[in-house]
């Protein structure tokens, strides 16, 4: 999930000019929420690929790093916040924790993240309309780079579904409380058995 969406706040916003009386009000009621846009889709793709190269491989060090970043919480974990907002943090972590056969992918992830953050900053300046097209080109280049780096044979074992989720904690289907008969004659929508 995109950082801004999960965090519930924009990464870069103009500072508010509040009077003393307004400062005491509950700001959550006055601040705008995050409006989903295409940049969040591109960022979500980036997070998914980061998950694949960390949690999705048989490598305990990268899996441990992934557990701190990809936690099942409504708000971003501290590690996820650092990955997205602290320059240099991701580069350090990937150099330390990525599987040895794909360590060279780390630089590509860092560059793509920097470009995503830059596009968020430019997005907040109304006169910079090219930020919307540039980020697509940048993510396309990132994907091409990953493809070219992974086109040569790599000794890397991906994890199976059971090893990624050993406790089988996927949500179970909720049993239906009603049968179709409870909703009446489907050929006559006015006739219901409620």
pLDDT in tens, 140-187: 999 999 998 887 766 666 676 555 544 444 445 545 454 545 445 545
Q: Of residues 172 and 66, which shows the higher confidence score? A: 66
pLDDT over 80 (residue 14): no
Q: What pLDDT score was predicted for residue 105?
A: 94
pLDDT, one tens digit per residue, over 88-137 is 999 999 999 999 999 999 999 999 999 998 888 777 655 556 656 788 89
- CA quadruple 167, 155, 141, 3: dihedral, nearest 10: 20
Q: What pLDDT score was predicted for residue 17?
A: 46
pLDDT over 50 (residue 43): yes
pLDDT, one tens digit per residue, over 74-99 is 899 999 999 999 989 999 999 999 99
10-19, long-range: CB within 8 Å, 24+ apart, which pairs?
10/34, 10/120, 10/124, 11/84, 11/85, 11/117, 11/120, 11/121, 12/120, 12/121, 12/124, 13/124, 14/124
Q: pTM for the full model? A: 0.69
Q: Which two tokens stand for residue 151?
A: 């086109």
Which range of 17-21, 63-67, 135-139, 146-150 scores highest in mean pLDDT? It is 63-67
Q: What pLDDT score was predicted for residue 161?
A: 54
Report yes or no: 27 and 56 within 8 Å, Cβ to Cβ: no
pLDDT, one tens digit per residue, over 135-145 is 889 999 999 99
Q: What pLDDT score was predicted for residue 15?
A: 43
Q: What pLDDT score was predicted for residue 130?
A: 63
């Amino acid at each position: 999930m995109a950082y801004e969406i999960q965090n519930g706040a924009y990464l870069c916003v103009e500072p508010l000019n509040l009077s003393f009386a307004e400062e005491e009000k509950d700001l959550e009621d006055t601040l705008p929420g995050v409006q989903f846009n295409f940049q969040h889709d591109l960022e979500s793709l980036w997070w998914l690929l980061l998950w694949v190269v960390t949690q999705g491989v048989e490598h305990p060090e990268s899996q441990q790093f992934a557990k701190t970043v990809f936690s099942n919480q409504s708000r971003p974990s501290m590690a996820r916040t650092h990955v997205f907002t602290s320059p240099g943090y991701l580069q350090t972590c990937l150099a330390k924790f990525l599987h040895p056969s794909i360590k060279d992918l780390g630089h590509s992830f860092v560059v793509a993240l920097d470009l995503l953050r830059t596009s968020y900053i430019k997005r907040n300046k109304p006169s910079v309309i090219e930020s919307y097209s540039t980020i697509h080109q940048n993510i396309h280049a990132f994907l091409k780079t990953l493809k070219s780096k992974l086109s040569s044979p790599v000794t890397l074992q991906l994890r199976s579904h059971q090893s990624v989720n050993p406790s089988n904690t996927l949500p179970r289907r909720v049993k239906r409380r009603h049968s179709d008969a409870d909703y009446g004659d489907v050929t006559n929508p006015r006739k219901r058995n409620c």
